[in-house]
């Protein structure tokens, strides 16, 4: 069933379907980690219902956002959310396969790419391969290498990739990025609580960049159950 959610930022709202896949904390954190400068073009790969371009349109001065989504139903919701927020001149939703991103948009055509990709390999756990939630969570329609390869292809030299993923795949993420000449330059590890294991990692990479990575301070979500940390409340409006 569809619903309209308030994004708590600049009056923005988003259409979601609880039976499909609703955005989570990972998308919100990525929108805060990613940077876009005035005049830059941004591509969000695998946009789902368009949460990343919606949030980033409010917090950056990027010139234009393109958002690519393979599932027609999700892309339709994203388009309707863009229209509901009167952002048609700022955000374009494109239905298509991110494995074809460089063919769809052309090589070296973006300054920034954002992506919140499926975290789990296709064989990880039981799932229905046609289920929208499974497609969002598991590498059914694309792999990590597909994501990184196409991001590298559509980025200009010195363009930036911002990704959120799971810490257990960090070594693989860095190796694949370097294979496609994307040099990891920033890393922030996210912890649900200060005394728990991390459950997310935010990675920034530069196409053709020099080696050298900055490890940012850990980001902790909760002080205690249902109580957000001051940083989360201050920077993300929770």
Tokens representing residue 169 in the block:
């795949």
- Beta carbons within 10 angstroms of residue 193's beta carbon: 14
Average pLDDT for residues 22-29, to the nearest whole number?
86
List Cβ neighbours of 162 (8 Å cut-off, separation of 6 or more).
Answer: 30, 33, 34, 35, 112, 113, 114, 115, 202, 203, 204
pLDDT band at 118 (very low <50, low <70, confident <90, very high): confident
Instruction: Render pLDDT for 135-174 as a digit per residue (tens, 0 to 9).
Output: 455 455 789 999 999 999 999 999 999 999 999 999 999 9
List Cβ neighbours of 233 (8 Å cut-off, separation of 6 or more).
Answer: none
User: How are beta strands 200-207 and 214-215 bridged, if at all?
Assistant: unpaired
* 237 or 161, higher pLDDT: 161
Distance, CA of 110 to CA of 113 (rounded, Å): 7
Cα 91 to its chain centre, rounded Å, is 15
Q: Return the residue matching tokens 């949460």.
A: 51
State how many domains the chain has.
1
* 10 or 46, higher pLDDT: 46
Residue 73's pLDDT is what?
93
Boundaries of domain holding 51: 2-236
Instruction: Render pLDDT for 189-215 as a digit per residue (tens, 0 to 9).
Output: 999 999 999 999 999 999 999 999 999
List Cβ neighbours of 205 (8 Å cut-off, separation of 6 or more).
Answer: 160, 161, 163, 177, 182, 183, 184, 185
Helix (H) / strand (E) element for 55: namely: helix 51-59
Residue 123's pLDDT is what?
54
Region for residue 12 given its phi and psi (left: phi exceeds 0; alpha: psi -120 to 50; beta: otherwise): beta
CATH code at position 130: 3.40.50.150
């Amino acid at each position: 069933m569809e619903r309209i959610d308030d994004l708590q930022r600049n009056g923005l709202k988003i259409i979601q379907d609880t039976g499909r896949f609703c955005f989570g904390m990972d998308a919100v954190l990525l929108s805060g980690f990613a940077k876009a400068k005035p005049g830059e073009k941004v591509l969000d790969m695998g946009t789902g219902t368009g949460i990343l371009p919606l949030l980033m349109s409010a917090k950056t001065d990027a010139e234009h956002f393109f958002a690519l989504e393979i599932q027609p139903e999700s892309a339709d919701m994203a388009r309707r959310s863009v229209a509901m927020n009167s952002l048609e001149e700022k955000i374009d939703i494109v239905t298509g396969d991110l494995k074809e991103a460089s063919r769809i948009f052309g090589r070296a055509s973006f300054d920034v790419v954002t992506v919140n990709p499926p975290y789990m390999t296709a064989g990880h756990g039981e799932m229905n391969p046609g289920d929208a939630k499974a497609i969002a969570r598991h590498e059914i329609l694309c792999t990590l290498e597909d994501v990184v390869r196409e991001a590298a292809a559509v980025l200009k030299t010195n363009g930036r990739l911002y990704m959120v993923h799971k810490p257990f795949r960090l070594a693989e993420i860095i190796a694949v990025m370097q294979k496609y000449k994307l040099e990891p330059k920033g890393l922030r590890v996210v912890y649900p609580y200060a005394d728990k294991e991390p459950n997310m990692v935010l990675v920034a990479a530069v196409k053709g960049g020099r080696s050298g990575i900055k490890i940012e301070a850990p980001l902790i979500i909760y002080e205690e159950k249902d109580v957000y940390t001051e940083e989360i409340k201050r920077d993300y409006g929770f």
